[in-house]
Amino acid sequence: MPGQMCWLPVLGAGEEKVLHLRNYPNEPWKPYTACSSYFVSDYTIPQGSKGWATYQRLIKNGWTIVPNAQAYSLQKSAKLELKV
């Protein structure tokens, strides 16, 4: 089953955003580098987007992109469900 992708900031990286992945909507987001089965090495382009090569492969395989606002709201609701 194809998963979901989102460009989210990384702690301590300022405003830089990198690709994050998850297989199911109830899972937490993980940086693409932590997903070895999906990871594709980045292009050697100065100031290129971190995860662009991985994004290109996954979008061709049916993965969907989730807007940032939706990713944050889904992540908050998932945390609330776990606390209950």
Instruction: Specify the long-range contacts of residues 25-31, CB closer than 8 Å, at least 24 apart.
Output: 25/74, 25/78, 26/78, 26/81, 27/78, 28/75, 28/78, 29/71, 29/75
Report pLDDT digits (tens) over 18-69. 999 999 988 999 999 999 999 999 998 887 788 999 999 999 999 999 988 7
Q: At residue 82, does pLDDT exceed 50?
A: no
What range does the domain containing 13 cover?
4-83
Total number of domains in the chain: 1
pTM over the 0.85 mark: no
**What is the predicted pLDDT for the residue at 70?**
77
**What is the predicted pLDDT for the residue at 80?**
38
